Amino acid sequence: MGLATAMLDKAPEESVAARVRSAVETVFDAVAATRADTTALLERVTAEGRRPATVDLATLRPGLHLRLARHELVSGVGFVAAPGLLTDVPAWLEWWQTGSEGDVRPLLLDLDHEHSAYADYTHWDWFALPRDTGERAVAGPYVDYLCSDEYSLTLSAPVEVAGRFAGVAAADVYLRHFEAAVMPMLHQLPRPARLVNARGRVAASTDPRRLVGSLDKGPDFAGALATGRPGRADGVRLVPCEGVPLVLVVAE
């Protein structure tokens, strides 16, 4: 049974959630490919009896460039190392992004702990959630002062080597591109709706009472994602987006 046929058999909210999942999974495909490449690289370095350095991560670049070219929603992609992973620097982002003219360029950051406000990125949701849960995460939307100064979402997944956390593979999506992809789906629903992440951050909304970027302190969204099943709470219908860490919230 194809996706379109399957969606016809579902309630409108579940059909929309499935379509959102499909759109978001295209970005997670880029994250998964980056994680696979990074894991293979780090395992190879470990097998050689040494620790990795930034020069090793440079071998990821052809794949990162390819993902930026192939994935329409992806504006930035890369691997963010756990502090202490590399031998030559305390922290590192092997990160590439699309410039305003469509060119591909590296992110160059000052990660000196004495001078840079961005030196400690470990508290940001896109890093902390995969590290702490071992699961994929959707962080934001937020103003991405680190990479682009754009209102963005970051999708990420943990990278582990020999059972130890090594960092995260991640991809950025400009919010304007995300909204262009999902808002037509939300507008098909007869009632106000919004997409929220595990922490209740609103990623898209047709509800004037719930603005994009605001924090919804209503139901247990993480719990809804854990069950993976539609449910009701606090006067709204909760529909997890089938494995993607977003919940479709529809007013009743």
| Positive/negative CA dihedral, 223, 227, 228, 231 | negative
Residue 240, phi then psi, degrees to nearest 5: -60, 145
DSSP 45: H
Average predicted confidence (pLDDT) for the chain: 89
Q: Are 215 and 201 within 8 A, CB to CB?
A: yes
If you count them, how many residues does the chain have?
252
Q: Are 174 and 148 within 8 A, CB to CB?
A: yes
Under CATH, which number does the domain 22-176 receive? 3.30.450.20
Q: How does pLDDT run across 201-230, given as a tens digit for each residue? A: 999 999 999 999 999 988 999 999 999 999
Tokens encoding 110:
């000052």
Q: How does pLDDT run across 31-57, given as a tens digit for each residue? A: 999 999 999 999 999 999 999 999 999
> Beta partners for 50?
none
Q: How does pLDDT run across 164-187, given as a tens digit for each residue? A: 999 999 999 999 999 999 999 999
How much is the pTM? Answer: 0.88
pLDDT recorded at residue 113: 58
Q: Where are the domains of the chain?
A: 22-176
